Chains A and B, each alone.
Chain A
Amino acid sequence: MSIAAAQQSSKTGWIAGLTLAVFFVCSLCVGVSDMPIARLFSDGRALELLLVSRLPRTLAAILTGAGLAIAGLIMQTLARNRYVEPSTAGTAQSAELGILLITLFFPSASLLFKSLAASAAALLGTLLFLMTAHRFPPTQPFLVPLFGLVYGGVIGAAVTFVAWQADLLQYLSVWTNGDFSGVLRGRYELLWLGAAMVVIAWIVADRLTIMALGRDASIGLGIDYARMLQLGLIIVSVISALSVVVVGMVPFVGLVVPNIVSRLMGDNMRGTLPFVAVSGAILVLGCDILGRLIRYPYEIPVGTVMGCVGGLIFLWLLFRRSSDV
């Protein structure tokens, strides 16, 4: 990286880190119950509120945002297409199917076990998507996301059908629409597993960047392409499944964040991956705060807010792109 580029990225890094810190503090302060900061340490109830509800909720939003942004980035690398992400290409829907089936047959399964089932289902669903996506000609870049939408839609329809038959439709909305209002201490910690996946992604960032150059280039540079594909699949599936199980699906994060970061900084993941993670965290936390404020004291689920905000950003990206060319 050149000196100018390095300086620019360190400046962007400061801005991103500072924004996240500000959002973090805001998120701790915004809520229905009164939590005066001045009396935080003298008033036992205020401290309890912070530790049991506000802090877990804030951390959950950060972990979900960072994880989903990275999952999107890796999915785009694996599919070699910028317009796919877990929630639009069958990964999230497969995870929902997995958790639905496990709820149906083993209603008393623990959250961890449900997460495992959801991850396994997400893995299978994503594998099928990728195997098909790799058959499309690279000259038709929009076939892959279109196929993803149809594929995800079909699995989603199957999920709805099964849920309807089993009278579990109400459960379903818990997984399909992301919402942090139910997050309490002891009910979000699985998301740290997603953070571990982000760390793994950062460790193999160079390999991922090379994978984006294609199979032949990867093999030529001595990378075990098949193994990396498996690793990428696991990262995407586990992160998506955990988000679905713990907070429900949050759309668009994995789509818009990697695209914006790529536009600003390029695709050398050794440098950009931390920004993708931090920006994802900022976006989701910001949307959650917004959802808490819009019709205070009531809440709008983050999935809904994100659907609007993310959709608008995505449209802007698409139009910007066509005017660039």
Chain B
Amino acid sequence: MIRIENVSLRHGQTQILHDISLTIPKGGITALIGPNGAGKSSLLSLVARLQPLQAGRISVDGWHVGTTPNRDLARILAILRQDSIVASRLRVRELVGFGRFPHGRGRLTPDDYAVIDRSLQQFDLTDLSDRFVETLSGGQRQRALVAMAFAQGTDYLLLDEPLNNLDMYFARELMRSLRTIANENGKTIVIVLHDINQAGTHADRIVAMKSGRIVADGTPSALLTPKTLKAIFGFEMQVETFDNTPVVLHFR
């Protein structure tokens, strides 16, 4: 369980997060949505101890972020930041292999190799595993990064806009893979999404943020209503239900 209590954050004069409290139970996919600058990425990076906590408390499975040693947290929670750049010339298999670093501190056991192979397979990278990451397309690179986070073998996965750069096919594939690992491996996935219909289709729960506050929180069918969406994004959009899944026609 991720427990966020009274977390606030400010950079200089700008208040980025206002007194956020949120509990994310173990298991399932939680989507964070909201307009640009809502504070989604900041919240995620606070949970992943990428920036210091200024006010409030965050714990993951009872481990307090900020006091738990970095290397212990790395076995509990993995994060993929938005726009991660791989400037190094590493092969896909090597990159994914570094996901195992928190476990053996660099020494790979046969178990590690099995996990690496499974991650490559899960994200459809087996054929690309000997290619240098820099030679991949943006979408392939993104998948390699998600595979690396998955190889970390943590119960919690935080993904900041992983669908960036992905075409429709691979966006769908990635979301389905995440669904699979949430169902079969019991992973808890928190994912920042801009495509609201991906959130509506694949997430168990949607948390909406706006101007540093949580403005709505619920299941896709409860949250994706014209009224709530207008409150979040500031314009009217039609919502149809298709196969029990709400579909937002935001482009009309």
Contact = CB atoms under 8 A, between A and B. Distances in A.
B87 A223 contact: no
Given A216-B81, A220-B50, A267 B101 contact: no
Contacts, number: 87
Contacts of A210: 98, 101
Top 6 A-B pairs, shortest CB-CB distance: A222-B74, A206-B106, A222-B71, A267-B88, A222-B102, A266-B89
A207 B106 contact: yes
A209 interface: yes
B64 interface: no
Interface of A: 1-2, 4-5, 80, 138, 205-207, 209-210, 212-217, 219-224, 262-263, 266-268, 270
A217 B83 CA distance: 12
Nearest to B129: A2
A215 B87 CA distance: 13
Given A216-B50, A216-B81, A266-B132, A221 B90 contact: no
A276 to B, nearest CB: 13
Residue in A80, A207, A222 whose Cβ sees the most chain B Cβ within 10 Å: A222
Interface string B98-117: 11011001100000000000
Given A219-B70, A222-B75, A206 B90 contact: no
B50 A213 contact: no
B23 interface: no
Contacts of B80: 220
Nearest to B152: A221
B84 A214 contact: yes
Given A212-B88, A213-B87, A222-B101, 13 more contacts: A1-B94, A2-B91, A205-B106, A213-B84, A219-B49, A221-B99, A221-B101, A221-B102, A222-B73, A222-B75, A223-B71, A224-B70, A266-B88
- How extensive is the interface on chain B, given as a class? 35 or more
Contacts of A5: 91, 130
B33 interface: no
A304 to B, nearest CB: 32
B247 interface: no
Nearest to A264: B89
A158 B149 CA distance: 48
A267 B49 contact: no
B206 interface: no
Interface string B44-83: 0100111000000000000000000011111100111100
Contacts of A2: 91, 93, 129-130
B85 interface: yes
Given A206-B105, A216-B50, A216-B79, A222 B70 contact: yes
B88 A220 contact: no
Given A219-B70, A266-B90, A266-B91, A214 B85 contact: yes
Nearest to B82: A216
22 contacts: A1-B91, A1-B93, A2-B93, A2-B129, A5-B91, A5-B130, A207-B106, A209-B88, A212-B87, A213-B84, A216-B45, A219-B49, A220-B80, A220-B81, A220-B149, A221-B74, A222-B70, A222-B101, A223-B70, A223-B101, A267-B88, A267-B90
